[in-house]
A = this chain, B = another copy of it.
Amino acid sequence: MLEELGIRAKEAEKELMVASTVEKNAALKSIADALVMNADEIIEANAKDIQNGIDNGMSKSLLDRLKLDRERIEGMAQGVLDVVSLPDPVGRVLNSFERPNGLKIQKVSTPLGVIGVIFEARPNVTSDAAALALKSGNAVILRGGKEAINSNTKIAQVMRQAVKETGMNEDVIQLVENTTRESSTALMTLNGYVDVLIPRGGAGLIQAVVKNATVPVIETGVGNCHVYVDRDADIDMAVEIVFNAKTNRPSVCNAAESLLIHKDVAKEALVKIKEKLDEKEVELVGDKEAIDILKDSKASDGFEIEEATDEDWATEYLDYKMSVKIVDTLEEAIEHIYKYSSGHSECIVTESEDRANEFMDRVDSAAVYVNASTRFTDGGEFGFGAEIGISTQKLHARGPIGLPELQSFKYKVYGTGQIR
């Protein structure tokens, strides 16, 4: 059954690959309009998912993610319209050169082809992913979680109809309506039809995809992010950055999970940071040195800090919790990050350019910061307009995956009869 979707996606992709910017934008505008026009039907379908969620004891926060109302649907439509205004990434000449034999070679961006997206219970991903795929000339096969199947089915139906009305093949957007584990595995192994698979969700989903997929994958989203407060840091700035990176939105992948502090400034910095984090009741776990400092400080009044385990250093809490380690040297901070980081985002707070450069050259993560919150690793914040996820692998895409990252390239070679 999945193969049938694959065949149709490939067929639709042949036209979409060479569609003009005008055609693609018309389809996107039609989608945005249709989402708003059909908001009542979408809300009705969503109500079934919500009822099922309640019946199955779904948590309040998950129910909130799942729920659609008119405002949220208007937000989804606006997200699609935002993609209209982004530059078309297809057909850009990336490089151009001539060989001694007279061959003229152009390296030109092209769509990847068919993108598979596996995601969990957020129905807005359906329209976000479809819009980004369409604008970048890629057909998309969406496979959402069973918790949102009624919502997703309706949204996909509305989008397909809207695309069709502009004269485009509606199979540029397809939804896998079967939400069994088998359908998920089938999508992961749809070689020959799926050019890249992007999982959007928690660590469990991503690991399942990495383990089982035989199609190419872009791994996304796990962020065990570090902030290192250097010997030469502006301590007040460090306090603000750590507080923001940890507490601005703890549930997302670019939130900081681990704090490293140079021993020379450990006492002052840690006490001030702890005071600030107390405003949001952030739980700290730390190494012995960190615990000793806070035992002596006012901030420790009535507060017991547990010793951090090896597991703590490796954990993405996604919560109001943070691990703290005092390091003797910049080197030790870099080594700690090398050992425990998931390669997402890391920051050094320092006034020393040399030390900043050493940190940024040697820390091997998608985004490395000096004197700024890790929370900026985001397609919108980077100015990409939108993102389909944040890649933590090094192949193809790294960091926020925007429209340019949804491109491959090909070589166009212009000859006059050259042979070898």
On A, residues with C-beta under 8 Å from B are 14, 17-18, 97, 99, 103, 105, 110, 112-113, 191, 195-196, 210-211, 214, 216-219, 234, 237, 240-241, 243-245, 248, 338, 360-362, 364-373, 375-377, 381-383, 393-396, 398-399, 408-420
Q: CB-nearest residue of chain B relative to A14?
A: B338
Whether B241 lies near A417 (C-beta < 8 A) is yes
**Residues of B close to A195: CB separation below 8 A:** 393-395
Set of chain B residues within 8 Å of A413, measured between Cβ atoms = 367-370, 372, 376
Residues in B with CB closer than 8 Å to A218 are 395
- Residues of chain B lying within 8 A (CB to CB) of residue A360: 412
Give 23 pairs: A residue, B residue, CB < 8 Å, sorted on A.
A18-B361, A105-B382, A191-B210, A195-B395, A196-B394, A196-B395, A216-B216, A216-B217, A218-B395, A240-B417, A364-B410, A367-B413, A368-B411, A369-B414, A369-B415, A371-B414, A371-B417, A372-B415, A394-B408, A396-B396, A398-B408, A398-B409, A398-B411
Contact at B99–A383, with CB atoms within 8 Å? yes
Once the chains are docked, how many angstroms separate the CA of A143 from the CA of B289? 45
A420 in contact with B216 given A18-B362, A113-B364, A394-B196 (CB within 8 Å): no
A103–B370 Cα distance when bound, in Å, is: 10
**Number of copies of chain A assembled together:** 2
By a CB distance below 8 angstroms, the chain B residues around A376 are: 103, 413, 415, 418, 420
Are A382 and B99 in contact, CB atoms less than 8 angstroms apart?
Answer: yes
A361 to chain B, nearest CB (A): 6
A14 and B362 contact, CB distance less than 8 A: yes
* A240 to B418 Cα, complex, angstroms: 9
A419–B244 CB distance below 8 A: yes
Whether A371 touches B416, Cβ cut-off 8 Å, given contacts A110-B364, A394-B113, A395-B395, is yes
What residues on B are CB-neighbors of A113 within 8 Å?
A: 364, 394
Known: A368-B412, A382-B105, A420-B376. A362 touches B217 (CB 8 A): no
Closest to A366 in B: B410
Contact A417 B196 (CB under 8 A): no
Contact A362:B398 (CB < 8 A) given known A411-B382, A417-B240: no
Q: Give A230 to B365 CA distance when docked, in angstroms.
A: 50
